[in-house]
Amino acid sequence: MSTSLLSPVSRDPHLATRVALLDAAERLFSQNGIEGTSVREIIKAADANLGAINYHFGTKDRLALEVFARRIAPVNRERVARLDALEAEVGRRKLKLEQILDALVRPALEAEGRGAKNCDDLMRLISRSFQEQNTEVKKFVEQQFAEVAHRFDAAILRAVPGLPPDDLFWRMCFLHGALHHGLQTWLQFDQTPHAMLHPDAIKPDREGLIQRLISFMAAGLSAPVSKAR
């Protein structure tokens, strides 16, 4: 095969090793977390030599930051870009709540188009990002989601007029809890006890999951405000 037909990764062994380390770490971090994954496990999964992580990233923590940045940053950019496009399309008219939620949910579940080899690993990784105790990763995650939270909170308040900001805070907490637990249940459907407790339950396809999440979230966000304060 002509070298001109090879990808940059194929032509550059150093880049190939770097990508292999990122892919291996992403898969292992998504399954076991950062602290639950050893350097040796990453090296073995990437088929790299023992000093490769130090050479390419310096430390496992720096590798972890690049793993999260490589996947989470594009998803959040896509979320904001979709919201921008929706707001530009409607002008001064009000967006439907379901449109806003689609822009929030869909990018994470359609990540293959942006280079993620395994969308399931990405979704696990996003769920993991909120559970990590690593200080650098927690700071990075907070920074990555700050603009998303600001933009989508504002859009939802416009779509659900009269919703007190305090109620929005709690409803968004419940929303993200449902999103992450729902994703985990979907990914591990055959192993979850819910399937045994509800024998008629079936695993939807990806679009079916998106629509179920949006319907559930929209109902929760637009529910009457409780009088108990």
40 found inside a domain? no
Please report the pLDDT score of residue 149 as a whole number. Answer: 92
Please report the pLDDT score of residue 194 as a whole number. Answer: 60
Q: Which two tokens stand for residue 114?
A: 């942006």
HSE at residue 133, side-chain half, CA atoms within 13 A, is: 2
pLDDT band at 195 (very low <50, low <70, confident <90, very high): low
CATH number of domain containing 122: 1.10.357.10
Quote the mean pLDDT of the chain.
83
Query: CB burial class (10 A; 0-12, 13-18, 19+) of residue 85?
Result: exposed
Alpha-carbon torsion 87, 91, 92, 96, what sign?
negative
Write out pLDDT tens, residues 81-135: 999 999 999 988 889 999 999 999 998 777 644 444 555 666 666 666 666 667 7
Q: Using alpha carbons, select from 37, 15, 17, 10 the residue that is nearest to residue 26.
A: 37
Residues 6+ apart with CB under 8 A from 201: 194, 195
60 found inside a domain? no
58 found inside a domain? no
Q: Using alpha carbons, select from 39, 143, 160, 189 the residue that is nearest to residue 94.
A: 160
203, pLDDT greater than 80:
yes
Where residue 115 falls (left for φ over 0; alpha for ψ -120 to 50; beta otherwise) is left
Cβ atoms of residues 36 and 87 within 8 Å: no
Write out pLDDT tens, residues 204-226: 998 999 999 999 999 999 999 87
Higher-scoring residue by pLDDT: 68, 118: 68
Out of 6-15, 60-69, 115-124, the most confident range is 60-69
Please report the pLDDT score of residue 216 as a whole number. Answer: 97
Please report the pLDDT score of residue 24 as a whole number. Answer: 93
In angstroms, how far is the first alpha carbon of the chain from the final one? Answer: 69
Domain limits at 167?
67-221
Higher-scoring residue by pLDDT: 152, 1: 152
132 found inside a domain? yes
Q: Using alpha carbons, select from 157, 171, 179 the residue that is nearest to residue 219.
A: 171
Q: How many domains does the chain have?
A: 1
38 found inside a domain? no
2, pLDDT greater than 50:
no
199 found inside a domain? yes
Write out pLDDT tens, residues 137-193: 778 878 888 889 999 999 999 999 989 988 999 999 999 888 888 887 887 787 767
CA distance 38 to 94: 49
137 found inside a domain? yes
16 found inside a domain? no
Please report the pLDDT score of residue 17 as a whole number. Answer: 93
Please report the pLDDT score of residue 197 as a whole number. Answer: 65
